[in-house]
Structures are given as structure tokens and as C-alpha cells.
Structure 1
Amino acid sequence: MQSWINLFLNQFKATTWLEWAAVLLGVAEVLLAKANKVWLYPTGIAATLISIYLLLNAALYAECLLNGYYVVMSVYGWYYWIKKRGEPPVKVSYSNRREWIITLLIVFAGWGMLYLLLINFTTSTVPVWDAWVSSTAWAGMWLLARRKIENWVLLNISNLFAIPLLFHKDLALFGLLTIVLFVVAIFGYVDWCKIIRRDQLTQTI
């Protein structure tokens, strides 16, 4: 425990402005998602572009692919949330059976694909771990883009495994950010449950 504290303190002192920007934008993104605000997407795009550069230097290649996927899904989600002018925004809801099938396919097919890519084309020392963190986050981001409440569950599965991985790779500041995101995601799930219940009550009136 003391070694982790020392690691964090040493990294805190050596943190670059790019790392601070990525962390602060990441916090802002998840807070905006918790509040169900569409501005989470431009904020998230900025955070992920910076993170790709930083994670490349740490040789977390699946994490880099994950962040590239975040950019694509953020653009898709931004469009999907807003839809066409004059149409109502997409409401928060639970996933149906088809969406759960797609989610599980993203998780397990993505895990296998990323693992094969990592062991064959990179120097990754943690291919199974890195691939799992990324594939579960892929699924969570897809659900978030469609405003499905289960996105918080998938994203927190990813966060749970990402925290020790980031500390293992000496990215203590990112590890601390992920702990914060884990806690915020719990409250995000609770808030979205309230939104769904409120909408259901409105429809019955």
C-alpha cells in the first residue's frame, strides 16, 4: 500500500499538463453523462484524443484502440442523442433482448479479437487483462450511445479491472481517475433509474 502511495505522489509531481487535461476532461465527461447531458460527447472526444497519445507511451495498445472506438462511438452517440432537428431526444431506457445479445457479442467477440491482436502484433505484457478492460468498455459505450441504463454496469465492470491495471502500468493518476469514475457511475445508474421511473409515471398520468 505504501508503495502505491509513493508511486502516486511521485507521478503527481511529474504529471504533465496533457495528463491533467485528460483527467479533468474525463471527470467532466462522466459527470455530464450522469446528468444526462449531450455535452458529454464533445468533452469525451477531447479527453480520448489526449488519452490515446498518453496510453501509446505506456504500451497499453488495447486501451488505445478502446479510445479510438470511444471517438467513433461519441460521434455516433452525439448524433443519436440529438437526432434530427424537431424530433424528441432519445429517452433513457432498459435494454431489450436484442440489445443484450449485441452487448454480449461486443464483450466476448471483442475480448477474443483484441487478445489475438495484442499477442500477435504488439509487445503487450498484459494481453488478456488489457483486452477484457477494453471489450467491456466497448459494450458500455455502445449502450451509453443508445441511452441504455445498463451502460453504467458494463462501464463499471471495465473500471473494476482497469484500476489495478493502470496502477500496474505506473499510471497512478489515471488509476485514481478510474476510481472516481467508478463511484460516479454508481450514482449515474441510480440517477438514470430515477429518470426512467419519472418518465413511466408521466406516461401513466
Structure 2
Amino acid sequence: MSELLSKAIADWQLMQSVELIATLLALAYVILALKQSLWCWPAALLSTILFTQVMWHSALLSDAILQLYYAGMAIYGWWRWQQLKQSVKAGAAGDKQAPVYEWSWQRHGLLISLTAVIGLGLGYFMAGYTQADFAYLDAQTTAFSVMATWLVTRKLVSNWLYWVVIDAVSIFVYAQKHLYFLTGLFMLYTIIALAGYFVWRHHFVQQQQQSLTVNA
């Protein structure tokens, strides 16, 4: 009995250590992304590898699958941002940062509707065929996180607004699962996402002004 208890404590301590390291790497990712640094993607890749183990151990199966997607998007994001950075060399000499973009509210409305339907389908599967906790809620955050991560790779300004909502919901889920490092991380994420929106929005407005000046 004592051996089983010792093993359980050791496993818990290991998961806590893995969660802490992954949390620090994830925090580095989002701060570097706010600064539009290419190095955000290696930090994201290492973080997702560790978080995959944490999510699987906590029976958050949709989140575990999501981490594998994040790993692939980290590789794609590194390539995509390099392409955008190279476009600066061929563009205006006064703008040292790669451009950021924005969509119309109609396009966002369609994207939100499609993502919500996919989330419902994933939630139905997880609730009916797995032992996943918070099946529908976890599935919705998973679906929207997949979409929002893709928007980050495309450098869309409003990706940060999606993350504000996703992070706020995730705070509740992770607190219920006693993943305290993650809960604290997502509290910081919510604040950083708000800051990220205004920083990227400011860059976008500057781009528009420079475009008007060039075309005048």
C-alpha cells in the first residue's frame, strides 16, 4: 500500500514539474508572439510536447489532441512568419515588421458559426464514446483554439480577441481539474491577449496610414 502511495506521489510530482516547465514555455510563446518574434514558435513547439502528456494524464482528451495540432502549427507558423518577414524586404523600407491583417465582421461571423458546429460534433463524440471530462466545453475551446491558432499563423489582428474568450473559459476548466499552473497561466494569457490586440491593432492602423501616404 505504501509503495502504491509513494508511486502516486512521485507521479503527481512529475506531472507538476512537467506542467510548470510547459507553462513557462507557453508564457514565453505568447509574449514573443505579441512582439511578433519568430522565436515564439520554437517555444510553442516545446511547450505543446510537454502539455500533451499533462492533458492526457488529466483526462482532457480534446486538449491532448489539440496539443498535437499546436505542435504542427508551430512548425507551420515558423515557416509562414519567415515568408511574411521576407515580404518586408520587398515592401516599404520604413516598416521593419512583417504586415498584419484583418477580416470583415461577416467573414468572422461565418468562421465562428462553422467552428461552433464543429465543436458541437466533437463534444458529442467525446461525451458518447470517451471518458473525457467537460466534453462539450472542452470540445468548444478545442475547436476555437484550432481556428485561432491558424489565425495567429496568418497574423490576423483579431486572433487576440478569440483568445480572450478561449482563455477565460479555459481558466474555469483547468481550475476544476486542479491544474493550478495552467489556471494561473491562462489568467496571464487573458491579460496578454488583450494587450496583444491593441499592440497589433496599432500596427495595423499604422500600415493603413502608410499605405494611404504612399498612394496619395
Confirm or deny a common fold (TM above 0.5): yes
Q: 2:174 aligns with which of 166, 170, 178?
A: 166
Q: Which amino acid aligns with 2:59?
A: A
The structure number with the bigger radius of gyration is 2
Q: Is the 8 A contact 1:159 1:179 kept in 2?
A: yes
| Structure-2 residue corresponding to 1:152 | 160
Q: Which residues in structure 2 correspond to 1:1-205 (within 5 Å)? A: 14=13, 16-83=16-83, 86-88=86-88, 91-96=99-104, 100=108, 103-104=111-112, 107-205=115-213
The count of corresponding residues between Structure 1 and Structure 2 is 193
Please, what TM-score do these two structures have when normalized by structure 2?
Answer: 0.81
The structure, 1 or 2, with the larger RCO (C-alpha pairs under 8 Å, 6+ apart) is 1
CA distance in 1, matches of 2:163, 2:102: 15
* Percent pairwise identity: 21
User: Using a 3 Å threshold, how does the CA distance of structure 1 residues 158 and 188 change in structure 2: closer, same or farther?
Assistant: same
| Contiguous gaps of at least 5 residues in structure 1 | 1-12
Q: CA deviation at 1:120?
A: 3.1
- Please, which moves more after superposition, 13-22 or 119-128? 13-22
Please, what TM-score do these two structures have when normalized by structure 1?
Answer: 0.85
Q: Is the 8 A contact 1:30 1:40 kept in 2?
A: yes
Q: Is the 8 A contact 2:55 2:61 kept in 1?
A: yes
CA distance in 2, matches of 1:181, 1:38: 19
| Contiguous gaps of at least 5 residues in structure 2 | 1-11, 89-96
Q: Which amino acid aligns with 2:101?
A: S
Q: Is the 8 A contact 2:85 2:98 kept in 1?
A: no
